[in-house]
Amino acid sequence: MKLLWDIYEIQSNAGVLHQIKLRGRIRKFTIENEITCIAENASDTMNVVRFALLESTDPTKTIEYVQTLIPGIEVKRVLGAVENPTLSKLKVNDISRYAENIS
């Protein structure tokens, strides 16, 4: 069985997103609300945090929660239906990078 994930990106021009325990807050919220989620700081883009939800999951509750934590942030879906996602670097999720090695 394949699990497919939708990846969302959180950005802010107003303040720092790393070192404020945002990943942990997202993780705690999703655990408490029985939402399957992965959260990680981006290493390929400054001041970005990414989270992934299973493809069939409505992101509304998670996005609204994050927006209550930090006013003025932007949350957008950046990739959909990704197998085994890597959140720190989006380019790693391009399956064509591995196509010749997949049988």
> pLDDT tens-digit profile of 58-86?
999 999 999 999 888 999 999 999 998 98
Order of strands across the sheet that contains 4-11: 37-41, 48-54, 4-11, 74-83
Overall CATH class of domain 4-87: alpha beta
Looking at residue 17, what is its pLDDT?
A: 84
Angle in degrees, CA 72, 42, 33, rounded to 5? 65
Model-wide pTM > 0.85:
yes
Looking at residue 1, what is its pLDDT?
A: 83
Please state the domain extents for the chain.
4-87
Strand ranges for the chain from DSSP E: 4-11, 37-41, 48-54, 74-83
Looking at residue 14, what is its pLDDT?
A: 77
Cα(2)–Cα(6) distance, integer angstroms? 13
